Structure 1
Amino acid sequence: MESVRAVVYLSVCLSVLTSLCEGQRSPDSRLPSAPDEPAIGLTTKELAEALQGFLDEADSSVGLSVEKKASVIPRCDVGERCAMKHGPRIGRLCDCLRGTACNTFFLRCY
């Protein structure tokens, strides 16, 4: 998630800097542009499709982190592991069913 956000911020900054620098160059130093021939070898439609594919992948990875933040903890059956010990702290893996509780010694639902 953070890497996708960093890539988006970097691309926005680079495009702003490019547009600012484009106005600062003199007309003599600019390269002659051919309107019929794309600079990279890709058409606008191909570039748009590639960008759409990248954004779809980014949305799918963002959806997973949103689900984690929604505080939805899966349910555990009796006898299943419900917590994990991280040094002095105990992290919850799942929520025990109604009528049971997570035993902090065995770290299982009983």
Structure 2
Amino acid sequence: MESVRAAVYLSVCLSVLTSLCQGQRSADNQLDDPTLGLTTKELAEALQGFLDEADSSVGLSVEKKASVIPRCDLGERCAMKHGPRIGRLCDCLRGTSCNTFFLRCY
């Protein structure tokens, strides 16, 4: 019985301590405090400028590198013949495959 009472007292003390520490931490963290001489607004503007610059330089190269092949419906053309080679235009849906003779999904 005494061990249960001690555990309850200990849990109450720990909860009071954690709530006091949380209040201290929230008072320490101010949004407008200067960090390295910059305010939060200036840091946000610098980050936005960096992201805009990165978006303009990347362009469409990310979409090309993804190598995502679009899906074809049943009966739709899925490949194209280039001499002895066959190039894929799209990927057939589940349960169908690209027929190499007709070059369509069946």
Normalization by structure 1: what TM-score? 0.43
Instruction: Give the superposed CA RMSD.
Output: 16.9
Q: Is the 8 A contact 1:82 1:109 kept in 2?
A: yes
Structure 1 residue ranges, 4+ long, deviating more than 2 angstroms after superposition: 1-31, 36-66
1:4–1:58 Cα contact (<8 Å) kept: no
Pick from 43, 62, 69 the counterpart of residue 73 of structure 1: 69
CA contact (8 A) 1:83 1:91 kept: yes
The TM-score, its normalising length taken from structure 2, stands at 0.45
Deviation at 1:73, TM superposition (A): 0.4
Mean alpha-carbon deviation: is it higher for 7-16 or for 79-88? 7-16
Higher RCO, Cα 8 Å, sep 6+: 1
Say which one has the larger Rg.
2
Residues 79 and 25 of structure 1, relative CA distance in 2, 3 Å threshold: closer
Gaps of at least 5 residues in structure 2 are none
The percentage of aligned residue pairs carrying the same residue is: 91
Question: Structure 1 CA distance, aligned partners of 2:90 and 2:105?
Answer: 9
The verdict on how the C-alpha distance between 1:27 and 1:98 changes in structure 2, with shifts beyond 3 A counting, is closer
| Aligned-residue offset at 1:69 | 1.8
